[in-house]
Chain A
Amino acid sequence: MPEILLIILIVAAVLVTVGLSFVAVRRRGGDAELEAGSDLLERGEPTIGLDELEPGVTVPVESPAVVLEPEVLEPEVLEPAVTIPVEKPSFFERLGKARSAFTGYLGDLVGLSRVDAEAWEELEEALIRADVGVKTSMVLIEDVQERAREAKAEDGKQVLSLLKARMHEELADKDRSLRLEDGKTNVWLIVGVNGVGKTTTIGKLGKRLRDEGHRPLMAAGDTFRAAAAEQLTTWAERAGAEIVRGNEGGDPSSVIFDGVAAAAARDCDIVLADTAGRLHNKSNLMAELSKVRRVAAKEPGHVTEVLLVLDATTGQNGMAQATVFTEAVDVTGVVLTKLDGSAKGGIVFAIESELGLPVKLVGLGEGVDDLVDFEPEAFVDALFE
């Protein structure tokens, strides 16, 4: 690691020195004018505390959250508490709107007696439009083409069912249950980038666990965003869960730690640990998150789930998010939120197939009960219905 770092340093230093003198020369000669103004990078250096520096280790060290400021804003919209529907929405029904857009492209296909090159392309485009991603789509389509040749399937209907079967396979055989160990203080860590709906997910999860007879405790580990703890408190009240809060700007790890201790003391069997949203390319913030996970696992805490919350409107960057978060905190499952909009969340296919991460829950609306289990069959079927 140090070598690589050094290389980068040298490369950058050399590059900038050489580059700059080159620019200077050109400028003097050619009077070229560089546009001045803002830049994309005007972010001060994060001040990082040097506590906990392990000797000789190059891995970034945990740091207090105070100065590192995750951009705020989670979207948490709520139905007025009065109109909470009693029965849980069916996954299939709720996908209705998302479904219609997708069907629009495939509808013509079903009627075709022969799927020609153009139709194949349309099929691939339909997948791309659903954010499945260009590479995954190509692989899916190529596979299906192969199978269609073998099976001598020609008409649109046959081809579609082959594609459907292929997509089923991608999502099949995964353990999508949420792990809870009896008699222990379970910790579910909720992570994700800014604005995906972590706090809302915790609120809904709390309600769900409560309904199942558990005693959840929410730990307001988002100490960065203004009023994040207030937001979670509102949710805790709604869900009838306990809550532990820290100071704004405090150390998230200590809040989670306190949460675990409080859960043990108050006989709660599960801690829902909220964390501040963070972009996965901020290594210091990811290091902070790794620390939160380590601390959460200290006795009596048992981290049984690390759920990555992913916004269904997210495009190809979702893959990068899943990869980096998994490296940092060993994600055990994905919560796909906001699937009730027109976005289709197709990036899930790539994440499931390439990283093997199961989608465990789906957010289908703003009501407290709108967090349902992911049903892969229904999900795929809905896309083709």
Chain B
Amino acid sequence: MFESLTDKFEGIFSRLGRKGALSEADVEEVLREIRVALLEADVNLTVVKNLRNRIRERAVGEEVHGALNPAQQVIKIVNEELTASLGGETIKITYASRPPTVVLMAGLQGSGKTTTSAKLARWFKSQGRNPLLVAADLQRPAAVEQLRTLGGQISVPVFSDPSDPVSVARTSIEQARATGRDVVIVDTAGRLAIDEELMEEVRRISDVTEPDYTFLVVDAMTGQDAVNVAEAFHDRLELDGVILTKLDGDARGGAALSVKEVVGRPIAFAATGEKLEDFDLFHPDRMASRILGMGDMLTLIEKAEETFEQEEAEEAAARLLEGQFTLDDFLDQMQQLKKMGPLTNLVGMLPGLPKEIRDVDIDDREIGRIEAIIRSMTVAERTDPDIIDASRRARIAAGSGTNPTQVSGLITQFSEMRKMMKRFGGMGTKKAKRSRRKDAKRGKKGRKGGRVTPKGGRVTAKGGAGPTPKRGGRVTEKGTKSTKAPLMLPGLDRLDDLDLERMAEELDGFDPR
């Protein structure tokens, strides 16, 4: 399901061979893949069609220029189109000159309105405001209690009375004024877009509260129907923005794109977790690669920067590439990695990871076991794991509460990784030096020329004709998708390649010049 689009495209292009410019036929074939990818991500069909047309217009006849291969070039166009569609204007929350600023929350049942209301209240509080939560969902049993409990957790008062939703909403504004609350968040009952009566009710709530912001809460897992829902709500309420929920799931979230296209209003916030603080402004650029199934490198890099000690990491990387990476270094890096959050989430953000790895459930406590094994080694053993014989292994196993098989498993994998990185290393350090001298653009070019795919390290079950090497020496890693391929080497090889390239592209985008 998560085969990266890049792989598919490169497959197509290596078949087509490299040409001076993208022909209509090339682009058409790629567009078919894009269509499938977008539809699988639940982007609405009509939206997909429009997007395809825009991409076709831009891509046909485009010169293939030096730095990017055709596949990357099309991806870049697709990515830019998606980002543009998703983004455009970002919402800027301004506050009413005469408080309170009123926010109305609407949406289908189960989209997450009540939790999101509380999250939003918490966000306003963090902006230095004094929000009031209003429970106008009088339909669902215990909805008011739920909001009260959540309000209690973030110390935000909750207003409600058992009369009817419209009058609760009306009274709440007076209540807010009386108690000096400058933001009012009105949580309404979930309703179907085709339910005339309830849609009329929410319109009346909107009339009496005159909201400054009306948000539609949309579940990231929503399918093709997202468009109809958004249209129906927009007709009644004139939405100001959309809040996307349950983004911490593995849905690709095409609904975000659909809704944005149809309503033309920005996706203002995104809820990315179960806790009340898992909520923030929306980043369209990241969503684009998610919809395309390409991981979320940018967030990963950002997280890494927050947690990793830069100097240390650099040194470790240098040692790694020279083949002098020790288990101690590994332990250090692992500690840092742990700070970045649950591993499963990190893996989800890596682009182009083979499905086998993506699908693995990672129990973070496994890390504890690995740590225990390494900690049970002597300094000499950590530096040179090759000296570990059966007796040392038994001691380490006993010391770490594991068994000798687990110990040797770790050591084998580690040594293989180290060997591979060493092979890979020669070019890596050169690359680093080169890009240090050159500016971003030229650095990338240089890097490209210097790229050496560690073929020897790839043990893949690649069938038939190998991929056509491109000028830069970059090789399409088709074989990595094979389910039979041993996991480690191909995954690593491919990752690094994609990783560096995308990182370079993304960074270029941020280059102030």
Contact = CB atoms under 8 A, between A and B. Distances in A.
A342 B229 contact: yes
A317 B362 contact: no
Interface string A317-355: 110100000000000000000101111101100000000
Contact of B109 (A42, A60, A338): A338
B492 A37 contact: no
B223 A313 contact: yes
Contact of A8 (B112, B193, B357, B499): B357
Nearest to A320: B250
Given A25-B435, A39-B303, A4 B350 contact: no
Given A29-B435, A230-B145, A315-B223, A6 B275 contact: no
Contacts, number: 424
Given A37-B281, A72-B146, A230-B141, A9 B337 contact: yes
Contact of A4 (B275, B296, B360): B360
Nearest to B402: A56
Given A9-B367, A317-B221, A228 B142 contact: yes
A281 B225 contact: no
B399 interface: no
Interface residues of A, number: 113
Contacts of A131: 42, 223-225
Interface stretch (A73-81, A144-152, A258-266): A73-81
B317 A31 contact: no
B510 A35 contact: yes
Contacts of B369: 2
Contact of A125 (B45, B223, B247, B278): B45
Given A45-B341, A130-B224, A340 B192 contact: yes
B343 A15 contact: no
Contact of B488 (A10, A41, A228, A233): A10
Nearest to B356: A4
B231 to A, nearest CB: 10
Interface stretch (A111-119, A192-200, A267-275, A371-379): A192-200
Contacts of A73: 110-115, 146
A29 B146 contact: no
Contacts of B316: 17
B386 interface: no
Contact of B357 (A4, A48, A78, A226): A4
A86 interface: no
Given A16-B333, A69-B275, A32 B225 contact: no
Interface residues of B, number: 144
B460 to A, nearest CB: 15
Contacts of B349: 40-41
Nearest to A77: B139
B136 to A, nearest CB: 13
A245 to B, nearest CB: 12
Interface string A227-240: 11011011100000
A3 interface: yes
Given A25-B436, A71-B273, A78-B141, A20 B491 contact: no
A309 B190 CA distance: 18
Interface in B296-343: 296, 298-305, 308, 310, 313-314, 316-318, 320-321, 330, 333-334, 336-338, 340-343
A19 B357 contact: no
Given A279-B246, A342-B229, A45 B364 contact: yes
B110 A197 contact: yes
Given A16-B304, A316-B42, A343 B273 contact: no
B361 interface: yes
Nearest to B245: A71
B487 A128 contact: no
Contacts of B313: 16-17, 20-21, 24
A75 to B, nearest CB: 2
A314 B223 contact: yes
A193 B245 CA distance: 12
A221 interface: no
A316 B36 CA distance: 12
B110 A18 contact: no
Contacts of A83: none
B39 A134 contact: yes
B496 A37 contact: no
A178 interface: no
Contacts of B336: 16
A45 B343 CA distance: 9
Interface string B214-238: 0000010111111011000000000
A364 to B, nearest CB: 11
B440 to A, nearest CB: 4
Interface in A38-70: 38-46, 48, 50, 56, 58-61, 68-70
A294 interface: no
A314 B304 contact: no
The 8 A-B residue pairs with the shortest CB-CB distance in the complex, in nearest-first order? A75-B109, A315-B223, A195-B110, A75-B110, A226-B149, A38-B280, A315-B42, A234-B141
Interface of A: 1-46, 48, 50, 56, 58-61, 68-78, 97, 101, 125, 128-131, 133-135, 193-197, 225-228, 230-231, 233-235, 248, 279-284, 286, 311, 313-318, 320, 338, 340-344, 346-347, 366
18 contacts: A3-B487, A10-B492, A12-B337, A12-B347, A18-B496, A21-B313, A23-B301, A29-B438, A32-B508, A41-B346, A71-B273, A75-B109, A77-B189, A129-B45, A134-B39, A231-B146, A282-B248, A283-B362
